[in-house]
Amino acid sequence: MEHIVIIGNGISGVTAARHIRKMSDKRITIISAETEYFFSRTALMYIYMGHMKFEHTQPYENWFWDKNRIELKKGLVSKVDIKSKSLHFSDGEKMNYDTLIIAIGSKPNKFGWPGQDLDGVMGMYHKQDLENLEKYAPNNKTCKRAVIVGGGLIGIELAEMLRSRDIPVTFLVRESSFWNGVLPEGESQMINRHIKNHHIDLRLSSNLQEIIADDNGKVKGVILQGTGDIIDCDVVGLTAGVSPNIDFLKDSGIDLGRGVKVNRFLETNVPKIYAIGDCAEQHEAIGLRRPVEAVWYTGRMMGETVAQTICGKKIEYKPGHWFNSAKFLDIEYQTYGWVFAKPKDYETQFHWKHEDDTKCITVSYHKETGEFLGINTFGIRMRHEVFDQWLTDKKDIHYVMKNLSQANFDPEFYKKHESTILTSFQKSQLQTA
């Protein structure tokens, strides 16, 4: 029987395994060094915050794997031998495969900062990072201050986590405004204010120079670039993005770039070896997407797709319209289509913000044709299905603004803002006309 081995038990690998099982009787093994069972990485923060226990982050009960004949193997793969089609584990064990799916995920970026490997310095990605944080920042007596380096989604989540235990947080952001490489200015500024309202010491345009240690090799502070200011702290969180976790594949003969190079069928250069999820890098970007996409749902979609190919229906990975979501402390964010932080030359953006400073939207449309290109929404939930359809139909911006209430997904009885938004949009049109 064909043995399919999947390295990585995250959303990509597990989705692939589930779909292969649905379609076939092949032997399936999932390998992970991190945890015995699949859990939702995005939910790690809620364990530290006390919203959930670890078991709640597991989408399937423990009997699920046996029942579906998906074998689980805990171990660290140190080498892939493509000639003998075998995996070598760090403890010397070996495992043969017929088909290999690399779904190993990412690791936090470290940019060679002095002191980046000290005790008390950590990323926030693996379950082990969480255990580390629990050790070094159990409360605000042990951890009198934490410094977070890197202003992205994980950085703001780590800040929220620490604040839930009343630990003072200094948040170093390289950019002049939070996440403004992705968010248009109005949105980014609103989030800046929201961060400060949560009593987080937000330092914009600030870079880390060095992490300094006490006599025991544990972090005791950071030095800022430029000013040379020292901030005393007990924990440093490094959250300057993630990159594919592929060091163990060097010299394996599998083509690597930033990630594992794959074609549109998610095939690597080696037959019967596939790569999916965060660690896969497309030879050429698909549409306006990036070649490496470390997003929950793209991992899932690649898993769905590669399972078809492996089970005999060879199919290209063709993600649909871009969408994503996140939560910045108390403010939910969703995006459908493309809204660029710095508008492209063909793009016009309309921005509306509620006076309470926790809700806003930015709509992007084509300067000449008026085609709706995308929307960012903060504090107002919107329907994926509706925007997906409107993007496919290439709806006109006026149509979208007039019918915005169709897309509303807020809970019942919430105050509706569509008419205010429409009025504001129409006014902006008069001014530009």
Residues that bind another protein (CB under 8 A): 11, 19, 22, 40, 42-43, 46-54, 56-59, 61, 130-131, 134, 138-140, 164-166, 197-198, 296-297, 300-301, 304-305, 308, 313, 315-321, 323, 325-327, 329-330, 332, 334, 381-385, 388, 409-415
User: Shortest approach of another protein to residue 306 CB, angstroms?
Assistant: 11
Q: Residue 289: how many CB atoms within 10 A of its CB?
A: 14
Residue 259 token pair: 């990630």
* Residue with Cβ nearer another protein (51 or 283): 51
Confirm if 352 and 164 have CB atoms less than 8 A apart. Answer: no
Give the nearest distance from C-beta 59 to another protein in angstroms: 5
| 85 CB-near residues (< 8 Å, 6+ apart) | 96, 97, 98, 100, 272
- Tell me whether residue 53 or residue 283 sits nearer to another protein (CB atom): 53
CB-nearer residue toward another protein: 54 or 340: 54
399 or 414: CB nearest another protein: 414
- Please identify, using beta-carbon distances, which residue of 198 and 272 lies nearer to another protein: 198
| Min CB(14)–another protein separation in Å | 10
Name the residue nearer to another protein (CB basis): 88 or 289: 289
**Alpha-carbon gap, residue 361 to 187, rounded angstroms:** 8
Nearer to another protein, 83 or 313 (CB): 313
Q: Which is nearer to another protein, 87 or 380 (CB)?
A: 380
Question: Min. distance of Cβ 84 from another protein in angstroms?
Answer: 34
Give the separation between CA 158 and CA 155, rounded to whole angstroms: 5
Closer of 175 and 388 to another protein (Cβ): 388
Minimum distance, C-beta of residue 349 to another protein, in the bound complex (Å): 22
Residue 21 tokens, joined: 């099982």
What minimum distance in Å lies between the beta carbon of 169 and another protein?
A: 14
What is the C-alpha separation between 39 and 72, in angstroms, rounded? Answer: 13
* Min dist. Cβ of residue 427 to another protein (A): 28
